[in-house]
Structure 1
Amino acid sequence: MKREIITIDQTKCDGCGDCVPGCPEGALQIIDGRARLVSDLFCDGLGACIGTCSKGAISIEERDAEPYDERRVMEEIIIKGGTNVIAAHLEHLKAHGEEEYLQQALAYLKEKGIENPINNDVQGNQSSEHEGCGCAGSVLMDFRKTGNDVEQGESTGQQKSELTQWPIQLHLVTPLAPCYRDSDLLLAADCTAFAIGAFHPAFMRGKSIAIACPKLDSGIDRYVEKLKSMIELANINTITVVIMEVPCCGGLVSIVNQALDKASRDVPVKKIVIGVRGDVLGER
């Protein structure tokens, strides 16, 4: 679609980075010493960043661009920012009269159990006493930095976990979480880890992970979009799909193929099929 979106004159940009915090959507990053628009999906075209550039390198142009995606923006802000960043984004939408996007943002916060930081200023959206506490199961944790203390030992009989992050359910993960960037992704059907005893060392070691059930999970279209984002924005290197031998499990491979068809880059995909008795039936 053709719409207004920012453009950056790379001959004028000196990479100072003043524009980055000036973008309430997180659409700008300093890459290779210059400011870059990381995704059309994150730029609302309102130009809040223009006044932050002392070199006059940023302007607005009308061109073909992917539609702005408020949900994707909120995913990014929640991971990289905090309460103050969320509030700044909501205030930005209010100031420009973007009521539709504002309501989408508020709905996303409610869906994730995150309190609206400007709820006193937005009519009809006050949080109830049961809201705003956040969902502990959705809090991003990166075990690559902290290490994992569950080591194999005689006293416990536990084997070292190869899990690199939390959460892992595909509906809960954020494609731009640091653990996915430049990683090898393991996409596993829910049942596979229960079918094969050595799942952690055999499949998870050195990989980021996401799990899903193609038969019972809802929102398959969102799965496709998340995987597309991992391919394009997180720059994942490979995808290993581990499924059960039952026919319904093949839907997970179909989801990956749909994401690859939509993505602007290609990545190698490996499919591993597990039997119901825990044996590896085939790899391709």
Structure 2
Amino acid sequence: MKTKRQMVKIDEAKCDGCGNCVTGCHEGALQVIDGKARLISDLLCDGLGACIGECPRGAITIETREAVPYDEVKVMEGMVQHGPNTIKAHLKHLRDHAQKAFLKQAFDYLKKHKIPNPLEEEMTKKKEHEPCGCPGGRTMDFREPCACDDGAGEDAPAAQSQLRQWPVQLHLASPMAPYFQKADLVVAADCTAFAYGNFHNDFIKGKAIVIACPKLDDGQEIYVEKLQALIEDAKVNTLTVVTMEVPCCNGLLAMVKQAAAAAKRKVPVKHVVVGIQGGIKNEDWV
């Protein structure tokens, strides 16, 4: 099965640089540079097209392409054509989203082609810089242990969050995010975390997670493609599918099975069924 993915395409002739699309892109993958909207990172473009409705000129469309492994060298070849400001924005985006390996490849490309590195001075001085885009969709990796007080005082929280990443919604998640690499991945139906009281400790602790609703979410073919990419490209170690006992939840397991069957590498898949009253109804490897 050849995997397809949706990507935004910008018609520079129509673009007037108004910037409306930038606020519509929750991933921060769009910026206005030198008077034109630029896709500075297709790595994290979710292809949902929220930016299209924000464009008054009709300069943005969605096109479906055959998915190929991300190639930073090819991306840099495109970025350099748009000048130093676009190069700088792309490098900052990689750094903001902790894509260290791709950032190094980009630096190597600039060095090889004797192109000035616009981040060199900032990197030398180790300056902090402000992230771009809406924080609601920005990839965040906080896997370091939290320096929280473990005391059991009156004001201590009942349970500590075990979430180590953001975002968690599968449409917004990028398979290339660093916290997915060789991780034990939980694929959970939206309702499970509300039904199962100890969800964080029993399912999220030490793992990466994505959530989806097989009944209400649109674009579920994209879910299958992303799950396949998580298996093949992120090389996740295991998959644990957590669903509710209600029949409409079965679609999530079906999507995971479809992705696993299509993937070139194989991973063990566990299915956990949560009851509507909070207990575990069933748990086995599939």
Which of the five TM-score ranges fits, normalised by the shorter chain?
Answer: 0.5 to 0.7
Partner of 1:226: 226
Give 1:42's aligned amino acid: Y
Distance 1:208 1:151, change over 3 A: farther
Partner of 1:192: 192
Give the SS at the match of 1:137. coil
Question: Are the aligned partners of 1:150 and 1:159 in contact in 2 as well (CA < 8 Å)?
Answer: no
Partner of 1:42: 70
Equivalent residue runs for 1:102-181 within 5 Å? 134-145=133-144, 147=146, 149=148, 153-154=152-153, 155-181=155-181
Long gaps (5+) in structure 2: 1-39, 44-66, 78-92, 110-131
Taking the aligned partners of 2:171 and 2:215, their CA distance within structure 1 comes to 14
Distance 1:245 1:41, change over 3 A: same
Distance 1:147 1:244, change over 3 A: same
- Whether 1:271 aligns to 2:249 is no
Give 1:137's aligned amino acid: G
Partner of 1:108: none
Give the SS at the match of 1:171. coil
Question: Are the aligned partners of 1:152 and 1:160 in contact in 2 as well (CA < 8 Å)?
Answer: no
Relative contact order: is structure 1 or structure 2 higher (C-alpha 8 Å, sep ≥ 6)? 2
Taking the aligned partners of 1:48 and 1:177, their CA distance within structure 2 comes to 19
Partner of 1:57: none
Partner of 1:235: 235
TM-score (norm 2): 0.55
TM-score (norm 1): 0.55
Q: Deviations over 1:166-186 (max 9, x none)?
A: 111111111011100011001
Give the SS at the match of 1:138. coil
Question: Are the aligned partners of 1:153 and 1:159 in contact in 2 as well (CA < 8 Å)?
Answer: no
Distance 1:152 1:258, change over 3 A: farther
Partner of 2:117: none
Question: Are the aligned partners of 1:150 and 1:161 in contact in 2 as well (CA < 8 Å)?
Answer: no
Distance 1:47 1:160, change over 3 A: closer
Taking the aligned partners of 1:219 and 1:78, their CA distance within structure 2 comes to 27
Give the SS at the match of 1:144. coil
Q: CA deviation at 1:142?
A: 1.0
Identical pairs, percent: 45
Partner of 2:204: 204
Q: CA deviation at 1:48?
A: 7.8
Long gaps (5+) in structure 1: 1-23, 28-38, 50-74, 89-132
Q: CA deviation at 1:47?
A: 11
Give 1:271's aligned amino acid: H
Distance 1:136 1:47, change over 3 A: closer
Partner of 2:51: none
Give the SS at the match of 2:161. coil
Give the SS at the match of 1:145. coil
Two-structure CA RMSD over aligned residues (Å): 3.5
Q: Deviations over 1:94-149 (max 9, x none)?
A: xxxxxxxxxxxxxxxxxxxxxxxxxxxxxxxxxxxxxxx62211111111136364
Taking the aligned partners of 2:142 and 2:169, their CA distance within structure 1 comes to 16
Matched residues, number = 179
Instruction: Spell out structure 1 runs of 4+ moving beyond 2 A.
Output: 24-27, 39-49, 75-82, 145-154
